[in-house]
Homo-oligomer: A and B are copies of this chain.
Amino acid sequence: MSNMGHTGGFTLPGEAGYEELTLRLAKKWGADVIRDSDGTKLSPAILDAGYDIYATLCIIRDHNEWARSHPDTQQQVFLISSPVIATEDVVVIPLMDRYFGDQFSVNASVDALPYWQVYDRTAGKLVSSDRWAYYPDAQAVRVRGVIPWHRYTVSFLCYRVWEEINMYNHTTNHWTSEHLMQLDPRHQSVQEYLLHWLEGWLKNHEAVDVVRFTSLFYNFAFLWGCDSRNRYLFSDWASYDNTVSPLALRQFEKRMGYALTAEDFVNKGNFQATHWPPTNAKRDYMAFTHDFVVAFGKQLVDLTHRYGKKAFVFYDDSWVGMEPYGPRFQEIGFDGLIKCVFSGFEARLCAHVPVPTHELRLHPYLFPVGLSGAPTFQSGGNPTADAKKYWQQVRRALLRAPIDRIGLGGYLHLTEGFPDFQAYMAELAEEFRLIRGLHEGGEPYVLPIHVAVLHVWGKLRSWSLSGHFHETDKHELIHINEALSGLPVKVSFINFEDVKNGALQDVQVVVSAGAGGSAWSGGEAWADPQAVAVLTKWVHEGGAFIGVNEPSACPGTDTYLRMAHVLGVDLDAGEKVCHGRWAFDVQPLEGIALENAGLTRKENLYLTDGKARVLAQEKGVPTFTVNGFGKGKGIYFTSFQTNPKSNHQFLKLLLFAAGCAPLQPYLSDNPYVECAYYPAQNTLAAVSMSGETQTANIAAPQGIVKVQLEPFGFIHQELV
């Protein structure tokens, strides 16, 4: 896999039956690897064409025969019934009235039933198990001795009898094949079966160079409803709901010395969303699950290695418990990680994972429709425009951090009707190889600014929140992360323990961004006076704390924002409705307006001591402020939307925050042009985020470099 020239670093999805197309496009796009996909196969003509071969394996899926004969080894989940209001002293609670029957099958086995729970939600009290019984024919629980007019729920275990990605593909792409089941490898019998099965598979696939695990065992939570008006009842790309089983609960209790209950999972019907701070029990359970996934994952990888093949992991579906920034991820021994990407933050997420090979699976996927159901490779679709859009989003991050490979997935034949797409992918692949080459010899120049993004997950959830950009775009932090992914600053992700353990030592800017109570804003973690004191001291001594939306929000003290004293602003949850508000004048900072960041008015925002400088306001309420605090500053804005202009403004704000002069080397003066300088090659590269021709002035020690870029263009030049 050479890093130079017009070939290499490209993984093409081949397709049996389209051998000529496969090999023609492999050549056109400079592919060095051909892969299969979910729904396609490779034929001997492809396997023998001299390319390295990836084979996609979803290890826990596609064992329906074995699963049917061992139904109790299928994966499970805790569900919670709709609440039912008792109108007398007996109440009957149907379990499945809102759930998609094809996905779930109630598990009322002797193993499972002791974990079921009935709750009086009105009183917030568990109902003793001797007061209720399950009636399988009615799929309902009857509870006696209840309090009339209280609401009751049942939390219960279900088998998940249709693997979620398969379920999604069936419904989205109108597949009609057999529903695929999924096995839970926590069972010793499943482990033995899968190791045996994998060994057989490895023996039978001599042509395969890389086993592309997609991913390991447990899918993100994707709980479907029976009503088409509300199909996706709960979707969380980082949740642990799908890892549970009576066996896991027993093993957890044995190891940790305490038992988890259904309530630890269903959490009053909220479940344990990743956007919300984890309970201690959830943290323990995550570590417990991580240990298992690492241990059995390592067995699979070791076996793969024994057959002379490499093991890559596709980090997008069933990756729960093997987070690539988890403490034990490296022990699994993967040779590469493949990340599907729409956005820059996903490229950065991939780039820094401790594996030898980093690969991006680009969008659009070669499917008739995209994730949102809009047409892609069919009438009405414009896959070239899609590819350009996503590439432009991803590319700026590639200037900042090296990626080894890119590729596509899906049905290659769908590109036949789109010759412009075929042509564009050749250009794109060539551009990728040029950018990749720039990183050879050393890292690109960064400003003397280290930005630490602070939230409760810290490093574990570096760059990503939970899922793709469009699934999390209501959270300000994903916009911040996306902006940062292409900016010439050092970025790290820290939690509150890191803060207390000295992580701020070489940090110039801390960012806290999110809704109050969320994992991103920090929630109860801010109730720790030590963390607040460390941050306070750090700002006082020169640091800059940037808060967005409800940063450091935590009720319980005199301010809602625990960093209000640093920010000079606070939010009133109603307690200060009788307090006066400071009058103020708006005094913008030159050149840092955040005017494209979609600043929204927060009715309940107020200046604490009137000393913060108001940079912007809406209808009498500040939306953007800066507050001097000792030698440092607190900077606040109400919201943030990533786009070329606001990313550019954010970079200027980081310079201001870190006390740097606005004029710095290797920065473009045009928001639509971003650039990077590679000292080892003395080369400057620039990309355009605009559909128009753009020019930019870039300061360099040698003087101003003037560049001109074609629409969405890329240039690089050695400095002289």
Once bound together, how far apart are the Cα atoms of A610 and B227, in whole Å? 10
A36 touches B (CB below 8 Å) = no
Min distance, Cβ A461 to any Cβ of chain B, angstroms: 15
Pairwise interchain contact B87-A577, C-beta atoms closer than 8 A: no
Interface residues of A: mostly helix, strand, loop or mixed?
loop
Pairwise interchain contact B85-A536, C-beta atoms closer than 8 A: yes
Pairwise interchain contact A575-B83, C-beta atoms closer than 8 A: no
Pairwise interchain contact A558-B229, C-beta atoms closer than 8 A: no
CB-defined contacts of A580 to chain B, threshold 8 Å: 225, 230-235
Pairwise interchain contact A234-B579, C-beta atoms closer than 8 A: yes
Query: Considering the complex, which residues of chain A in the window 260-276 have a beta carbon less than 8 Å from any beta carbon of chain B?
Result: 267-271, 273-276
Once bound together, how far apart are the Cα atoms of A529 and B123, in whole Å? 5
A516 touches B (CB below 8 Å) = yes
Name the residue in A275, A557, A578, A583 with the highest tally of chain B Cβ atoms < 10 Å from its Cβ: A578
Name the residue in A85, A87, A517, A573 with the highest tally of chain B Cβ atoms < 10 Å from its Cβ: A85
Min distance, Cβ A235 to any Cβ of chain B, angstroms: 6
A63 touches B (CB below 8 Å) = no
Min distance, Cβ A13 to any Cβ of chain B, angstroms: 31
Pairwise interchain contact A518-B85, C-beta atoms closer than 8 A: no
A424 touches B (CB below 8 Å) = no
Pairwise interchain contact A582-B515, C-beta atoms closer than 8 A: no
Pairwise interchain contact A540-B122, C-beta atoms closer than 8 A: no
Given A121-B557, A149-B536, A565-B151: A515 touches B85 (CB 8 Å cut-off):
no
Pairwise interchain contact A87-B578, C-beta atoms closer than 8 A: no
User: In which size bucket is the chain A interface?
Assistant: 35 or more
Once bound together, how far apart are the Cα atoms of A529 and B122, in whole Å? 6
Once bound together, how far apart are the Cα atoms of A83 and B536, in whole Å? 14
Pairwise interchain contact A577-B150, C-beta atoms closer than 8 A: no
Once bound together, how far apart are the Cα atoms of A536 and B147, in whole Å? 12
Min distance, Cβ A533 to any Cβ of chain B, angstroms: 4
Pairwise interchain contact A574-B515, C-beta atoms closer than 8 A: yes
Query: Considering the complex, which residues of chain A in the window 557-585 have a beta carbon less than 8 Å from any beta carbon of chain B?
Result: 557-558, 565, 573-584
A153 touches B (CB below 8 Å) = yes
Q: Which 10 residue pairs are nearest across A and B when measured between Cβ atoms?
A: A268-B558, A149-B533, A270-B575, A232-B580, A123-B529, A236-B578, A149-B536, A273-B578, A229-B583, A149-B537
A contact residues vs B (CB 8 Å cutoff): 82-83, 85, 87, 98, 120-124, 147-151, 153, 221, 225, 227, 229-236, 239, 267-271, 273-276, 466, 474, 515-518, 529, 532-534, 536-537, 540, 556-558, 565, 573-584, 609-610, 630
Ordered by A's residue number, 24 sampled pairs between the chains whose C-beta atoms are within 8 Å are A82-B609, A122-B533, A124-B556, A147-B533, A151-B565, A153-B558, A227-B610, A229-B582, A230-B580, A230-B583, A233-B580, A234-B580, A239-B578, A268-B557, A268-B558, A269-B558, A273-B575, A273-B576, A273-B577, A274-B578, A276-B574, A276-B575, A276-B577, A515-B574
Instruction: Beyond A148-B533, A236-B578, list 20 extra A-B contacts (CB 8 Å).
Output: A87-B540, A121-B558, A122-B532, A124-B556, A227-B582, A229-B582, A230-B581, A230-B582, A233-B579, A234-B578, A268-B558, A269-B558, A270-B558, A273-B575, A273-B577, A275-B577, A276-B574, A276-B577, A466-B578, A518-B577
